[in-house]
């Protein structure tokens, strides 16, 4: 095992003292209990610049030594100011996850500038916190607020109504996500008995549509869905079995050519695209928050924000880019 230690400032001062006495490298090494090669290398690498009265200066030698030590050590990726600022903005302003940030950088720049664990370490250490912020400020901006995910054993209670088509009959283009226009639908409730959000997510692109319904009734939800899907490709809609979708037959007549497919009861994973998107929306509209007085333009801004959020399942492209077949530059 190597027990070598670097020369200290006092040792460098002694080297100067012994050199002034005319001692050789061998003698200096013996007096300092160092190897001859250590002293020789010190005098060669840390010699004073040409023009100085002394060929060796302890202060100059120590400065050169510290400069080399700084250069040889591995630098932290987030010491890069532009990269640090970009990651901070993506989390605090756009609510991107570390995985989405890394994937988007790699997609646009074809290189891995930073890793997901590096960003998480920076978050937990407070490196990304704004000046004066609390220790967990950025941590609380993450989707799950830094908490471990866990399953809740709550039983789902939903009304029953006659469905038109089971999800097993959905066309292959919906199942394999090959074309636009196959939507998954659901509602996001803020405060019980008040307004709710209606969400329509395209299975292929994960593009989010719709808006606010003033009540969680079938009539109000139908109205929002009809306005949202007008002018958009709509081949099928896969809602859950909530009673707010009980009037799907009337909506089918209004939209024309759209078919509703319903999953089995208590099978939310059959509509996981919409369930995941609703989870993202909860960052802005948490449970218990009354949505009634929230302006529609604010809701649409948040929908648009999610449509510009890179997704791992899309190769870190955004839903907007996939839905409209465009390329944006976000990184």
Mean pLDDT of 92-118: 90
More confident residue, 126 or 71: 126
pLDDT attached to residue 156: 46
Residue 293 has pLDDT above 70, yes or no: yes
What does DSSP assign to residue 239?
-
pLDDT attached to residue 148: 58
SS (H, E, C) 43-110: HHHCCCCCCCCCCCCHHHHHHHHHHHHHHHCCCCHHHCHHHHHHHHHHHHCCCCCHHHHHHHHHHHHC
Cα separation of 177 and 168, whole Å? 15
Contacts of 323 (CB under 8 A, 6+ apart): 180, 202, 204, 205, 207, 307
Phi-psi region of 298 (alpha: psi -120 to 50; beta: other; left: phi over 0): alpha
Q: Is 301 exposed, middle or buried (0-12, 13-18, 19+ CB in 10 A)?
A: exposed
List the beta bridge partners of residue 184.
201, 238
What average pLDDT is seen over the chain?
A: 88
Mean pLDDT of 106-132: 88
pTM score of the predicted model: 0.64
Place of tokens 């692109």: 205
What confidence category does residue 278 fall into, taking pLDDT thresholds of 50, 70 and 90?
very high
Q: Which CATH topology does 167-313 take?
A: Nucleotidyltransferase; domain 5 (3.30.420)
pLDDT attached to residue 150: 47
Q: What is the CA radius of gyration of the chain?
A: 32
Mean pLDDT of 69-85: 80
Angstrom CA distances, 323 to 179, 206, 207, stand at 10, 8, 6
Residue 144 has pLDDT above 90, yes or no: no
Structure token digits, residue 44: 């060669």
What is the domain partition of the chain in residue ranges?
9-72, 81-141, 167-313
Q: Give the rounded percent of residues in the chain with a pLDDT score beyond 70.
A: 94
Q: pLDDT tens, 2-59?
A: 567 889 999 999 999 999 999 999 999 999 999 999 999 999 988 887 777 778 889 9
Q: pLDDT tens, 238-247?
A: 998 888 999 9
Q: pLDDT tens, 204-236?
A: 999 999 999 999 999 999 999 999 999 899 999
pLDDT attached to residue 10: 93
Among 80-84, 139-143, 267-271, 323-327, the minimum mean pLDDT is found in 139-143
Residue 159 has pLDDT above 70, yes or no: no
């Amino acid at each position: 095992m190597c027990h070598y230690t670097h020369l200290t400032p006092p040792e460098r001062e002694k080297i100067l003292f012994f050199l002034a006495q005319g001692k050789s490298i061998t003698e200096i090494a013996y007096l300092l209990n160092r190897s001859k090669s250590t002293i020789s290398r010190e005098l060669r690498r840390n010699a004073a610049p040409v023009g100085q009265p002394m060929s060796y200066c302890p202060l100059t030698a120590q400065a050169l030594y510290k400069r080399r030590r700084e250069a040889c050590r591995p630098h932290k990726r987030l010491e890069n100011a532009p990269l640090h600022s970009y990651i901070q903005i993506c989390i605090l302003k756009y609510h991107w996850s570390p995985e989405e940030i890394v994937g988007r950088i790699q997609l646009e720049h074809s290189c891995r500038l930073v890793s997901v664990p590096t960003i998480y370490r920076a978050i937990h250490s407070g490196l990304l916190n704004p000046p004066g912020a609390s220790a967990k400020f950025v941590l609380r901006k993450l989707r799950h607020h830094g908490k471990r995910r866990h399953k809740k054993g709550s039983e789902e209670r939903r009304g029953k109504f006659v469905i038109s088509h089971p999800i097993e009959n959905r066309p292959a283009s919906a199942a394999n996500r090959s074309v636009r226009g196959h939507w998954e639908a659901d509602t996001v409730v803020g405060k019980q008995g008040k307004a709710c959000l209606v969400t329509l997510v395209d299975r292929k692109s994960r593009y989010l549509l719709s808006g606010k319904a003033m009540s969680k009734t079938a009539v109000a939800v139908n109205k929002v869905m009809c306005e949202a899907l007008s002018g958009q490709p709509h081949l099928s809609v896969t809602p859950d079995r909530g009673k707010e979708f009980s009037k799907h037959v009337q909506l089918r007549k209004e939209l024309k050519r759209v078919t509703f497919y319903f999953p089995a009861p208590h099978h939310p994973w059959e509509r996981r695209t919409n369930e995941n998107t609703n989870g993202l929306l909860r960052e802005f509209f948490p449970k218990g928050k009354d949505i009634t007085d929230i302006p529609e333009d604010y809701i649409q801004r948040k929908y648009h924000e999610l449509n510009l959020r890179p997704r791992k399942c899309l190769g870190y492209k955004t839903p907007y880019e996939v839905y409209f077949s465009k390329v944006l530059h976000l990184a």
